[in-house]
Amino acid sequence: MSERNIESRGGGHGSTQVRALIRRALLAGAVAAGSGLLVAGTAGVSSAAGASYYVAPGGSDSAAGTMSAPWASFAHAQSIAQPGDTVYFRGGTYTYTHADTGCSSQTAIVNAITVNKSGASGNPINYFAYPGEHPVFDFSRVSDDCRIKGFDVTGSYVHLKGLEVQGVPQNNSLNHESWGIWITGSDNVFEQLNLHNNMGPGLFIQNGGGNLVLNCDSHDNYDPHSSDGAGQNADGFGAHISANHPGNVFRGDRAWWNSDDGFDLINAYSSVTIQDSWSWRNGYLPESTTPAPSGNGNGFKAGGYGGVYVSNGVKHTVEDSVAFDNSASGFYANHHTVADDFFNNTGYANHPDFNMLGISSSGAAIGIGTLRNNIAYGGTLTSNMGGTNASYNSWNLNVTMSNAQFQSVSTTGWNAARQADGSLPALPYLHLAAGSTLIDRGVNVGLPYNGSAPDLGAFETGSGSPSPSPSSSPSASPSPSSSPSSSPSASPSPSSSPSSSPSSSPSSSPSSSPSASPTSAPPAGACAAAYQTQNSWPGGFQGLVTVTAGGAAINGWTVKWTLSSGQAVTQLWNGTLSSSGSAVTVTNASYNGSLSAGASTTFGFTATGSPSIPTLTCTSP
């Protein structure tokens, strides 16, 4: 979120999941129960069986809402559902073309979906993906000329699980951001959500307490049309909560390639806790190493009040979390007025890893924060540590930091598919190696541990710890990935027929313009290129091209296509652009030209005009 330009930048159930669950059980009364979670003081899974209803693309709101006769819309399902009921959304794309109310002005705020009916304690209203299926809520064609929320959750005791939320647009440049999910209700659970390619934060808690954001991913969010600067406001997760709304928790979440911050707690007047979460490569344009024009680029921004001292600031907690390759700080106090707790975190290759810049009552810059059992490696430590309460961290102890302390320092693969229960994937990256001098070097901060003392960093060693795969050899420095993400696709599959007219209920037919080009296996030694439209707005769109090597390795590639009438490429990343009239040529960047047989890489771009499927050619020297 915007900071008024005062930010300082100088300055599985492997052992990880078991450790996390034990810690949560002791600290918050969490009880793992299949895919559900019951948390003391936080919304929980219903223990009473209610009715089950079904919604599907192509359904009808005049139907019975059964498996064989599903409804069509979220709004209709909500009008029927009662506390304890579960609404199952079948797989497919639910396309929205306008909000449920009109814009009163270009700076007004409207909602595509309003979730305003509450469940009850012990009997939430559940809105779940049907098991094994993938419902996508696509808001990219909402045309209202004002600020837009994909989901506006004002109700309480609601549980959203397994949904994908994408493409919430900005349709003018008079405002800051739009939002994927906006929350003012309390005691809700947001679980296993995939939030991406929105022109603003993926998920944003404005008010309400006791909300749990569990095992969610928020990535590739970018606000190109914000009035305070492109990229300034698209955080992965935000919590900017007023006073007297305690108990909001982020747990097991991942944020990457968001143009602003991964997690942002600026202007939060109630305490927030972040646990067991990963945040990387924020502050860049999606899927690129090009800095976002106005993005802040912190992994975890744990507070601050716009650079001004306030007497009613609150303490936040960040623990067992990882930040790497962010364009600015990994862990950032952001001029906070109260010492936050940073326990058992790992910062790697950030700029810097830990920046504890605070502000005193006189307005002076001070170091602030309580730091225990943290690791900083591969980046600048900080220029703002003076005055902090820091001990038992890697920089306080007589240890030599090197790659040998870790099983692997790979920065690829962190967006791997989650485990079956939605928990973080079991990876060896940044786990301590056997014999590491960081094992048992911490201090007891009230969290369970193995051995004689806690380890440093986010991952406690012990039985069941994942071992590195043959391909995960340590790297001296992070490098961009040359393989495609294994997370769900950033854009839905096209439908065979266009929407006949705008509707506030979801349409069973996605975009009238195709979103992806057909692919075929390239011959040995050659390459193939495939195109996808990732986002669109009035007068422009964002595209992604995947380049795949054939049956033999290649040492460079060139992709060409012809622009349609009215199109012009305005920005491109992960490649080198040249154009002549409507002819476009993109060659590989220095780091992604060499591909092994069958391997892929991507480049992205923004352009003016309307999206269309180009005919791509790919050649290799």
Active site residues: 301
What is the dihedral sign for C-alpha 340, 342, 348, 353?
Answer: positive
> DSSP letters of 576-602?
EEEEETTEEEEE--TTSSEE-TT-EEE
Cα-Cα-Cα-Cα dihedral of 122, 123, 125, 129, to 10°? 70
d(CA 415, CA 483): 11
Q: Which of 547, 561, 552, 549 is nearest to 589 (CA)?
A: 547
Q: Which of 342, 298, 356, 349 is nearest to 456 (CA)?
A: 342
Cα-flanking dihedrals φ and ψ of residue 28, to 5°?
-125, 5
DSSP strand pairing (147-153 vs 179-183): parallel
- Tell me if 414 sits within 8 A of 256, measured CB to CB: yes
Residue whose token pair is 């730091």: 371
Q: Which of 159, 190, 173, 180 is nearest to 227 (CA)?
A: 173
- Tell me if 569 sits within 8 A of 563, measured CB to CB: yes
> Would you call 70 helix, strand, or coil by DSSP?
coil
Give the DSSP H/E element, type plus range, for residue 23.
Answer: helix 15-28
Question: How many helices (DSSP H) and strands (DSSP E) are in the chain?
Answer: 2, 45
Burial class (CB in 10 A: 0-12, 13-18, 19+), 131: exposed
Within the chain, what is the greatest distance between any pair of CA atoms? 70
d(CA 434, CA 439): 9
- Tell me if 153 sits within 8 A of 182, measured CB to CB: yes
> DSSP letters of 417-480?
PPPTTSPPP---TTPBPTT-TTTT-S---SS--SSSSPPSSS----TTPPPPPTT----SS---
The DSSP bridge partners found for residue 585 are 560, 578
Cα-Cα-Cα-Cα dihedral of 407, 410, 411, 416, to 10°? -80
The DSSP bridge partners found for residue 331 are 300, 354
| Distances from the Cα of 128 to the Cα of 50, 83, 137, 178, 202, angstroms | 14, 14, 13, 24, 18
Burial class (CB in 10 A: 0-12, 13-18, 19+), 48: exposed
Q: Which of 241, 384, 263, 240 is nearest to 322 (CA)?
A: 263
The DSSP bridge partners found for residue 542 are 535, 606
> Would you call 16 helix, strand, or coil by DSSP?
helix
The gap from C-alpha 405 to its chain's centroid, in whole angstroms, comes to: 28
Rg of the chain, C-alpha, whole Å: 24
